[in-house]
Chain A
Protein backbone atom coordinates (compact mmCIF):
# COMPACT_ATOMS: atom_id res chain seq x y z
CA UNK A 1 0.00 0.00 0.00
CA UNK A 2 0.90 3.64 -0.19
CA UNK A 3 1.37 4.06 3.54
CA UNK A 4 0.88 2.45 6.91
CA UNK A 5 -2.75 1.58 7.41
CA UNK A 6 -4.42 1.12 10.78
CA UNK A 7 -7.89 -0.05 11.64
CA UNK A 8 -10.23 0.78 13.13
CA UNK A 9 -9.57 4.52 13.23
CA UNK A 10 -11.81 4.81 16.29
CA UNK A 11 -12.85 2.20 18.82
CA UNK A 12 -15.16 2.74 21.77
CA UNK A 13 -15.46 -0.17 24.17
CA UNK A 14 -16.67 -0.95 27.63
CA UNK A 15 -14.33 -1.63 30.50
CA UNK A 16 -13.50 -5.32 30.70
CA UNK A 17 -13.93 -6.06 27.00
CA UNK A 18 -11.14 -7.24 24.72
CA UNK A 19 -10.07 -5.19 21.70
CA UNK A 20 -7.96 -5.94 18.65
CA UNK A 21 -6.10 -3.24 16.73
CA UNK A 22 -4.68 -3.89 13.30
CA UNK A 23 -1.68 -2.47 11.46
CA UNK A 24 -0.77 -2.94 7.81
CA UNK A 25 2.80 -1.68 7.30
CA UNK A 26 4.31 -0.43 4.07
CA UNK A 27 5.04 -3.36 1.77
CA UNK A 28 8.61 -4.58 2.16
CA UNK A 29 9.20 -2.93 5.52
CA UNK A 30 10.66 -5.48 7.91
CA UNK A 31 10.55 -3.38 11.08
CA UNK A 32 7.24 -2.58 12.76
CA UNK A 33 6.57 -0.64 15.96
CA UNK A 34 3.62 0.00 18.22
CA UNK A 35 3.43 3.16 20.30
CA UNK A 36 0.64 4.77 22.26
CA UNK A 37 0.00 8.40 22.95
CA UNK A 38 -2.25 9.71 25.68
CA UNK A 39 -3.79 13.16 25.34
CA UNK A 40 -1.10 15.83 25.59
CA UNK A 41 1.62 13.28 26.22
CA UNK A 42 4.58 11.95 24.28
CA UNK A 43 4.76 8.62 22.49
CA UNK A 44 5.18 5.60 24.73
CA UNK A 45 6.98 2.63 23.15
CA UNK A 46 5.09 -0.65 23.37
CA UNK A 47 6.73 -3.28 21.15
CA UNK A 48 9.01 -3.74 18.16
CA UNK A 49 8.96 -6.46 15.49
CA UNK A 50 11.74 -7.43 13.15
CA UNK A 51 10.06 -9.72 10.66
CA UNK A 52 7.71 -11.91 12.68
CA UNK A 53 9.73 -11.90 15.87
CA UNK A 54 9.58 -9.37 18.69
CA UNK A 55 13.07 -8.83 20.11
CA UNK A 56 11.80 -6.06 22.35
CA UNK A 57 8.54 -6.36 24.27
CA UNK A 58 9.76 -4.22 27.12
CA UNK A 59 7.18 -1.51 26.66
CA UNK A 60 4.04 -3.61 27.03
CA UNK A 61 2.38 -2.14 30.16
CA UNK A 62 0.94 -5.39 31.49
CA UNK A 63 0.17 -8.98 30.58
CA UNK A 64 -3.20 -7.80 29.28
CA UNK A 65 -1.33 -6.50 26.24
CA UNK A 66 -0.04 -8.78 23.50
CA UNK A 67 0.93 -8.41 19.88
CA UNK A 68 1.73 -10.63 16.98
CA UNK A 69 2.88 -10.27 13.43
CA UNK A 70 2.32 -12.81 10.72
CA UNK A 71 3.88 -13.25 7.30
CA UNK A 72 6.26 -10.41 8.06
CA UNK A 73 3.44 -8.02 7.34
CA UNK A 74 0.20 -7.38 9.24
CA UNK A 75 0.39 -6.93 13.00
CA UNK A 76 -2.34 -7.13 15.61
CA UNK A 77 -2.22 -5.54 19.05
CA UNK A 78 -4.65 -7.14 21.49
CA UNK A 79 -5.72 -5.63 24.79
CA UNK A 80 -7.63 -7.95 27.08
CA UNK A 81 -9.99 -6.83 29.84
CA UNK A 82 -9.59 -3.18 28.89
CA UNK A 83 -9.32 -0.55 31.59
CA UNK A 84 -10.06 3.17 31.40
CA UNK A 85 -6.36 3.98 31.60
CA UNK A 86 -5.89 2.11 28.30
CA UNK A 87 -7.66 4.97 26.53
CA UNK A 88 -5.17 6.53 24.13
CA UNK A 89 -4.20 6.76 20.48
CA UNK A 90 -2.37 3.61 19.41
CA UNK A 91 0.13 4.35 16.66
CA UNK A 92 1.82 1.84 14.41
CA UNK A 93 4.95 2.64 12.42
CA UNK A 94 7.17 0.77 10.01
CA UNK A 95 10.62 1.22 8.56
CA UNK A 96 12.59 -0.58 5.91
CA UNK A 97 15.07 -2.24 8.24
CA UNK A 98 15.48 -0.71 11.66
CA UNK A 99 15.64 2.19 14.05
CA UNK A 100 18.28 4.25 12.32
CA UNK A 101 15.88 5.02 9.51
CA UNK A 102 12.80 7.09 8.93
CA UNK A 103 9.68 5.73 10.59
CA UNK A 104 6.43 5.98 8.70
CA UNK A 105 3.45 6.22 11.01
CA UNK A 106 -0.13 5.24 10.46
CA UNK A 107 -2.86 7.67 11.47
CA UNK A 108 -3.55 5.68 14.62
CA UNK A 109 -6.47 4.06 16.39
CA UNK A 110 -8.24 6.24 18.97
CA UNK A 111 -9.28 3.84 21.73
CA UNK A 112 -11.83 5.00 24.27
CA UNK A 113 -12.66 2.72 27.20
CA UNK A 114 -15.85 3.72 28.98
Chain B
Protein backbone atom coordinates (compact mmCIF):
# COMPACT_ATOMS: atom_id res chain seq x y z
CA UNK B 1 0.00 0.00 0.00
CA UNK B 2 1.32 3.46 -0.88
CA UNK B 3 2.14 5.77 2.02
CA UNK B 4 -0.12 8.46 0.61
CA UNK B 5 -2.94 7.86 -1.85
CA UNK B 6 -4.90 10.42 -3.81
CA UNK B 7 -7.47 10.26 -6.58
CA UNK B 8 -5.50 11.55 -9.59
CA UNK B 9 -8.58 13.16 -11.16
CA UNK B 10 -8.84 15.27 -13.16
CA UNK B 11 -11.68 17.08 -11.46
CA UNK B 12 -13.30 19.34 -14.04
CA UNK B 13 -15.53 21.94 -12.39
CA UNK B 14 -17.16 25.22 -13.44
CA UNK B 15 -16.19 28.51 -11.87
CA UNK B 16 -17.96 29.06 -8.59
CA UNK B 17 -18.30 25.37 -7.79
CA UNK B 18 -17.31 23.73 -4.54
CA UNK B 19 -14.91 20.82 -4.88
CA UNK B 20 -13.38 18.45 -2.33
CA UNK B 21 -10.37 16.17 -2.44
CA UNK B 22 -9.54 13.36 -0.07
CA UNK B 23 -6.23 11.75 0.68
CA UNK B 24 -5.57 8.60 2.70
CA UNK B 25 -2.32 7.69 4.42
CA UNK B 26 -0.97 4.47 5.85
CA UNK B 27 1.38 5.58 8.63
CA UNK B 28 -0.52 6.33 11.80
CA UNK B 29 2.65 7.80 13.35
CA UNK B 30 2.62 10.82 11.04
CA UNK B 31 2.29 14.02 13.01
CA UNK B 32 2.22 16.85 10.49
CA UNK B 33 0.06 17.19 7.42
CA UNK B 34 -0.04 19.69 4.58
CA UNK B 35 -1.59 20.53 1.24
CA UNK B 36 0.78 21.78 -1.43
CA UNK B 37 -0.17 23.18 -4.80
CA UNK B 38 1.82 22.56 -7.97
CA UNK B 39 1.19 24.45 -11.19
CA UNK B 40 2.16 22.89 -14.50
CA UNK B 41 5.94 22.67 -14.88
CA UNK B 42 6.47 24.60 -11.64
CA UNK B 43 7.73 23.68 -8.20
CA UNK B 44 5.29 22.79 -5.38
CA UNK B 45 4.27 25.55 -3.00
CA UNK B 46 2.66 25.23 0.41
CA UNK B 47 -1.08 25.90 0.30
CA UNK B 48 -1.88 25.22 3.93
CA UNK B 49 -1.04 23.11 6.93
CA UNK B 50 -3.70 20.74 8.27
CA UNK B 51 -4.50 20.84 11.96
CA UNK B 52 -6.34 18.26 14.04
CA UNK B 53 -9.25 20.59 14.71
CA UNK B 54 -9.59 21.53 11.05
CA UNK B 55 -8.63 24.90 9.68
CA UNK B 56 -9.77 27.42 7.14
CA UNK B 57 -7.92 29.91 4.99
CA UNK B 58 -10.28 32.00 2.92
CA UNK B 59 -12.01 29.72 0.42
CA UNK B 60 -9.95 26.71 1.50
CA UNK B 61 -10.81 24.35 4.35
CA UNK B 62 -8.62 21.46 5.45
CA UNK B 63 -9.61 18.64 7.78
CA UNK B 64 -7.81 15.73 9.37
CA UNK B 65 -9.39 12.47 10.49
CA UNK B 66 -6.75 10.52 12.41
CA UNK B 67 -9.03 7.58 13.20
CA UNK B 68 -9.70 6.91 9.53
CA UNK B 69 -6.31 8.22 8.41
CA UNK B 70 -7.42 10.69 5.83
CA UNK B 71 -7.19 14.40 5.21
CA UNK B 72 -9.40 16.51 3.01
CA UNK B 73 -9.31 19.81 1.19
CA UNK B 74 -12.45 21.76 0.34
CA UNK B 75 -12.35 24.65 -2.12
CA UNK B 76 -15.36 26.93 -2.25
CA UNK B 77 -16.25 29.34 -5.04
CA UNK B 78 -13.62 27.91 -7.40
CA UNK B 79 -11.64 30.35 -9.51
CA UNK B 80 -9.91 29.74 -12.84
CA UNK B 81 -6.64 30.38 -11.01
CA UNK B 82 -7.29 27.41 -8.72
CA UNK B 83 -6.49 25.09 -11.63
CA UNK B 84 -3.45 23.12 -10.51
CA UNK B 85 -2.37 19.81 -9.02
CA UNK B 86 -3.01 19.51 -5.29
CA UNK B 87 -0.53 17.41 -3.37
CA UNK B 88 -1.32 15.75 -0.06
CA UNK B 89 1.78 15.73 2.12
CA UNK B 90 2.59 14.18 5.46
CA UNK B 91 5.58 14.06 7.71
CA UNK B 92 7.15 10.66 8.22
CA UNK B 93 10.36 10.55 10.20
CA UNK B 94 12.85 12.89 8.64
CA UNK B 95 11.02 13.44 5.43
CA UNK B 96 7.86 14.79 3.92
CA UNK B 97 6.05 12.19 1.84
CA UNK B 98 4.12 13.54 -1.12
CA UNK B 99 1.09 12.03 -2.75
CA UNK B 100 1.00 11.89 -6.54
CA UNK B 101 -1.55 14.70 -6.60
CA UNK B 102 -5.09 15.45 -7.72
CA UNK B 103 -5.55 17.53 -10.85
CA UNK B 104 -8.15 20.30 -10.68
CA UNK B 105 -9.35 22.12 -13.77
CA UNK B 106 -11.70 25.04 -13.26
CA UNK B 107 -13.48 26.15 -16.41
CA UNK B 108 -15.44 29.28 -17.26
Contacts and interface: CB of A to CB of B under 8 A. Distances in A.
Interface stretch (B41-49, B55-63, B70-78): B41-49
Contact of A105 (B31, B45, B100): B45
A48 B95 contact: yes
Given A43-B87, A100-B31, A56 B45 contact: no
Nearest to A101: B32
A41 interface: yes
B81 interface: no
B87 A99 contact: no
Interface residues of A, number: 21
A43 B91 contact: no
B97 interface: yes
A69 B45 CA distance: 23
Interface residues of B, number: 19
B95 A106 contact: no
A45 interface: yes
A103 B97 contact: no
Given A43-B98, A99-B32, A105-B44, 20 more contacts: A42-B87, A42-B99, A42-B100, A43-B87, A45-B97, A45-B98, A48-B95, A56-B93, A56-B94, A59-B95, A91-B43, A98-B94, A99-B96, A100-B31, A100-B32, A100-B91, A102-B46, A103-B44, A103-B46, A106-B43
Contacts of A98: 94
A45 to B, nearest CB: 5
A54 to B, nearest CB: 9
Contacts of B99: 42
The 4 tightest CB contacts between A and B, nearest first, are A42-B100, A105-B43, A43-B98, A56-B94
B42 A103 contact: no
Nearest to A105: B43
Interface in A88-106: 91, 98-100, 102-103, 105-106
A58 to B, nearest CB: 8
